[in-house]
Amino acid sequence: MPRIATSSISKHRNFPKIMPQKKAIITGITGQDGSYLSELLLEKGYKIYGIQRRASLPNTYRVDHLYDNVEDPNFNMMYGDLSDSSNLVRVINAVKPDEIYNLAAQSHVQISFDKPEYTVNVNALGPLRILETIRNLQLPIRYYQASSSEMFGKVLEIPQNESTPFNPRSPYGLSKVFAFYITKIFRDAYNIFASNGILFNHESPRRGFNFVTRKITLGLARVKLGLIDKISLGNLESQRDWGHSKDYVEAIWKILQHHEPDDFVVGTGDTHSVREFVEEAAKNLGIEIEWQGTGLDEKGVDKKTGKVLVDVDPIFFRPTEVAFLQSDSKKARAALNWEPRIDFKELARIMVEADLQYAEEEARSHRPIVTQKRYNINGSKRKPL
Ligand code: NAP
Ligand code: F7E
């Protein structure tokens, strides 16, 4: 399993002196955001209960650094799955948490076209199952729903804020629209403290390997060390408002500490294309990219050597695309006193630095940390990245 880029988490967690210790359930604890949120809540003195799904190989590498002491009463793992109502009822009833952070999802947009029913089951019905449990147990549990800028889809307004209409473009986007509204409806109908964070893209050295930023930073680090010749991408025109996951989990926590339940857009407001992310990542490796050609023939060439480092493969295009996203997070900034600290350039720098270490480890051990093999997926020889 790959090594995780850990942050400086204090060994001496700050237990509140007077307040009773809060209990939080985190679904999706083994994911990117789940791991950063766990660090934040442990620092704040919470007792956390992660919901981990069964996997045939270990899936806890993002939180293993937090779980070094099996006797630690504050870090608990429970098996569970968002597709399994009876399990969710049992876990929530056993823990009786103060807060539930629902971060679990089939979170890959392109894969949601391959697995639409599963995506809807987990991402849309999963939140409903949790909310129904909270309703039936009649406990004062605060609920956070991980809503997404993908709900804005083909955007109907620039920039996007809490009143921008949704116009999803994928099964993933639509599943998140259901989850958004069911959260709002349970808040209004049953007086449950249920809030949505509408988060724009956020990345980190812990990002899944098949999201575009990570694919670029690990890919170019491998190119730099001569482990591979080039990387293949899809739509280079696509524009995203990218921030760092560590900043965004602070907003997630603040949303549940707010005096009333509400919905908040969270983003940087700064939008860049995939092409610009490639350029920025390459710059951090001492490479200047020059673009040649257009459309499917476009190539990113090393200006110094003339070598093609990036090409375009139609396999990575989506049946329907979200072309442009840009957040207007004024509401969150004012009401939650939140703002992102890490900007686009710094994000690219941090990710490249971490992935260069991964690639160096691969070079030393002659073993890729993530497979580079091609598999036949849906009849096409698709590389997993
Ligand atoms: P991620 O890295 O893909 O993590 C997803 C988590 O959900 C993993 O822990 C995964 O478990 C778990 N999971 C998947 N299916 C499950 C199921 N059926 N039952 C229980 N757990 C399941 O995603 P992320 O980037 O941390 O994002 C966290 C949440 O925010 C997701 O809901 C995502 O849709 C949403 N979101 C993300 C962004 C972003 O840019 N990152 C933006 C807006 C919203 P395994 O580790 O076993 O796979
Ligand atoms: O794609 C384009 C791709 O997969 C970003 C999830 O966290 O953020 C994420 O969804 C853009 C898209 O993220 C490749 O077509 C080009 O336009 O990194 P991504 P996403 O689809 O924006 C939202 C907010 C979420 O909620 C989701 O959970 O990059 N792109 N070439 C590519 N994307 C990928 N993955 N791979 C490529 O080769």
Instruction: Express each pLDDT in 175-222 by its tens digit.
Output: 999 999 999 999 999 999 999 999 999 999 999 999 999 999 999 999
Per-residue pLDDT tens digits for 327-339: 999 999 999 999 9
**pLDDT recorded at residue 354:** 98
- First-residue to last-residue Cα distance in the chain: 17
d(CA 196, CA 184) in angstroms, rounded, equals 8
Average the pLDDT over 354-361 and give the result.
96
- Model's pTM, two decimal places? 0.95
**pLDDT recorded at residue 10:** 43
d(CA 192, CA 71) in angstroms, rounded, equals 34
pLDDT at 16 over 60: no
Which residues, judged by CB distance below 6 Å to any ligand atom, belong to the binding site of ligand 2?
107, 109-110, 148-150, 200-201, 210-212, 215, 233-235, 238, 240, 274, 316, 318, 321-322
pLDDT band of 366, cuts 50, 70, 90: confident
pLDDT at 323 over 60: yes
Pocket flag, ligand 1, residue 198 (CB < 6 Å): no
Name the helix (H) or strand (E) containing 134.
helix 126-137
Q: What percent of the chain has pLDDT over 70?
A: 91
Long-range contacts of 301-309 (CB under 8 A, 24+ apart): 307/229, 307/230, 308/229, 308/230, 309/220, 309/223, 309/229, 309/230, 309/231, 309/282
Number of helices (H) and strands (E), helices first, in the chain? 11, 17
For residue 214, give the ligand 2 atom closest to its CA: 18
Which listed ligand is nearest to 324 at the C-alpha? 2
pLDDT at 4 over 80: no
d(CA 254, CA 379) in angstroms, rounded, equals 45
Query: Ligand 2 pocket check: which of 113, 211, 239 to mutate, most ligand atoms within 8 Å of Cβ?
Result: 211
Distance 198 CA to ligand 1 centre (A): 14
- Using DSSP bridges, classify how beta strands 23-27 and 380-382 pair: parallel, antiparallel or unpaired: unpaired
Query: Ligand 2 pocket check: which of 240, 380, 382 to mutate, most ligand atoms within 8 Å of Cβ?
Result: 240
For residue 231, give the ligand 2 atom closest to its CA: 38
Q: Look over the chain and give the mean of its residue pLDDT values, rounded to a whole number.
A: 93
Which listed ligand is nearest to 251 at the C-alpha? 1
User: Which value, in Å, is the radius of gyration of the alpha carbons in the chain?
Assistant: 21
**pLDDT recorded at residue 383:** 52
